[in-house]
Amino acid sequence: MMKTKRAMILVSNDPESIRLGANELIHNLNEALATYNLQDEVDVSTISDINHSNVLPLVIVYPEATVYGPVKAADARYLVEEQLYKGRVVTSLLAPPKQLTGQIGSLRTHKGYNPAEQRIVLERAGRIDPDNIEEFIAANGYEALGKVLTEMTPDGVIDIIEHSGLQGRGGAGFPAGRKWRFVRAAKSKEKYIVCNADESEPGTFKDRIVLEGDPHLIIEAMAIAGYALGAEEGYIYIRGEYGLAFRRLEKAILQAKEFGFLGKNIFGTDFNFNIHVHAGAGAYVCGEETALLESLEGKRGEPRSRPPYPVTNGLWNKPTLINNVETLANIPPILRHGAEWYRSFGTPSSPGTKVYTIMGNVNFSGVIEVPMGITLREVINIYAKGMKPGSTLKLAQTGGSSGSVIPAALQDTPMDFESFRKAGVSLGSGALLICDQNTCIVDLVKVLLQFFRFESCGKCTPCRVGSQRAYEIVERISQGQGRLEELDQLLDVAGEMERASNCGLGQTAATPIRDMLKYFRTEVEAHIRLRVCPTGVCELTEEIEKVA
């Protein structure tokens, strides 16, 4: 008879934890349990830690939900002896309380998540072993797929997605249900489901957390999409640098096939579906959906001219649904709980939650999931634990390199697609770079343009030449060599890039330029008129200093 387990030890095994010795720590914990004859009473499993980079590796001991960190491999025996053998908390290894926010904090306090945080996408991430399909199933995994295949029609599935109001979380906010309807209506015997996991936007790592912490969620979502749209094959195009996520996805796919959630006659129906994982080679432009398709087909990753659009002429010229990881991650919960449940989160125009990465001059950085419509001020004060000592908010960037530069004056604008659109800014991918008064807007935009000119595929002239020309102008301004008339030239270049670039890379590369001159023109002009950088970041050339 199998002995009942009385405790469980969870060890974070994200890439940073592994680098810091998580695997050796797990080995030592198991050895220590054997030493004290506890191997049959205590399980050692893993979690994908989601926001505590400075206390890794993280160890959580259940049922007490005691959180330790950072824990070294050498601490394993002492931890087992004290906590599991003698029943005493090891106070010297406890993670600092100020670090325990979000999910980990709720485990420690038993009071649930922070009231402003609602986890839909990240519901399981960090709570289950991502390599164990049985833990996923025990947490309602594949329940939505079973419901869809045995109780619903394809059109019924799309109706719920449409009614939920889910919008694409890649940045544009296009209604997900409408895109699904377009693919469903396309006439073709072959259709494809593609998950865009090429998370190459600098500062964005929310999709990695989902893929590493809950890979079966994406498999379930893609299978549901395949049934709803009439596709039998799916592809996950993942960023090449995401080695751990790649391995976990491949393992999850094998497990799903073994359990009958992928392959032929899923849930005893006539529905067949398979998924393949394809790793990109590091090109930023392949995050653009048509460049991604070109890369999947074995071609150079360059954007296609549109129309036609992927919903009718996508992968191998067949109708193709392309959704990013966060968008797909919302699908199973919506179908389990219903459209009205999903609409109870967020705002009427932008229902649901949004996953953000927080970085910059704040006291806490990491990943959060909060209702759409929360303000930047709330994010900084509640989740980022405020600005660092001596820092005041100057600006924030909301979507990686291509996101809007938002001044402090807009920090009370609800962070949802409609409110941001009305304010003239965009939500983007959800990477929040928080900058204080010591950030020079000219230097920031110069760095962004350097990135864009390097990552441009070169296919279209507005992006290839425009990004280079804009960089040259901003670089001169940063050196105190700019001219006032060049600011109008910058706006002209930005306008042409926005209007005529072949894909989103060139179009959104103009965003930082536009926002810089809209909100921080006085600071830019100080570099030109006074030949000084108000923040002291930009270095003037010796020649200019003599002139000044």
d(C-alpha 283, C-alpha 295), whole Å: 10
Residue 397's SS3 state is strand
d(C-alpha 415, C-alpha 157), whole Å: 28
Specify burial of residue 470 (Cβ count, 10 A radius: 0-12, 13-18, 19+).
buried
d(C-alpha 349, C-alpha 358), whole Å: 24
Kindly tell me if the per-residue pLDDT of 493 is higher than 80: yes
Whole-Å CA distances, 74 to 12, 13, 21, 95: 16, 17, 10, 17
Which residue, chain included where needed, has tokens 């600092």? 96
Whole-Å CA distances, 488 to 348, 493, 513, 518: 39, 9, 11, 12
Which pLDDT belongs to residue 26?
A: 95
Which pLDDT belongs to residue 541?
A: 66
Among residues 85, 157, 375, the alpha carbon closest in space to that of 384 is found at 375
CA Rg, the chain, in Å?
A: 25
Per residue in 411-448, pLDDT tens? Answer: 989 999 999 999 998 888 888 999 999 999 999 999 99
Per residue in 45-55, pLDDT tens? Answer: 877 655 556 78
Residue 319's SS3 state is coil
Which pLDDT belongs to residue 515?
A: 95
Average pLDDT, the chain: 89
Per residue in 324-350, pLDDT tens? Answer: 999 999 999 999 999 999 999 999 999
Residue 368 pairs in a beta bridge with: 356
Which residue, chain included where needed, has tokens 């009305």? 422
What average pLDDT does range 5-18 have in this prediction? 83
Q: How many helices and strands, by DSSP H and E, does the chain display?
A: 24, 13
Kindly tell me if the per-residue pLDDT of 163 is higher than 70: yes
Which pLDDT belongs to residue 51?
A: 53
Kindly tell me if the per-residue pLDDT of 172 is higher than 90: no
Tell me phi and psi for residue 66, to 5 degrees.
Answer: -80, 130
* Token pair listed for 399: 């979507």
Per residue in 180-236, pLDDT tens? Answer: 999 999 999 999 999 999 988 877 888 999 999 999 999 999 999 999 999 999 999
pLDDT band of 97, cuts 50, 70, 90? low
Lowest mean pLDDT among 302-311, 337-346, 359-368: 359-368
d(C-alpha 396, C-alpha 456), whole Å: 24
Per residue in 15-50, pLDDT tens? Answer: 888 889 999 999 999 999 999 999 888 888 877 655
Of 498 and 219, the one with more pLDDT:
219
Kindly tell me if the per-residue pLDDT of 488 is higher than 60: yes
Per residue in 58-89, pLDDT tens? Answer: 898 877 778 888 999 999 999 999 999 888 88
d(C-alpha 454, C-alpha 402), whole Å: 14
CB 291 within 8 A of CB 303: yes
pLDDT band of 115, cuts 50, 70, 90? very low
Which pLDDT belongs to residue 117?
A: 58
What average pLDDT does range 104-115 have in this prediction? 33
Lowest mean pLDDT among 17-21, 91-95, 140-144, 398-402: 398-402
Considering 2-6, 21-25, 224-228, 509-513, the range whose residues carry the highest mean pLDDT is 224-228
Which pLDDT belongs to residue 401?
A: 81
Per residue in 369-388, pLDDT tens? Answer: 999 998 898 888 888 888 99
Core vs surface per residue 360-378: b (16+ CB within 10 A) or e: bbbebbbbbbbbbbbebeb
Residue 197's SS3 state is strand
User: Is the pTM above the cut of 0.85?
Assistant: no
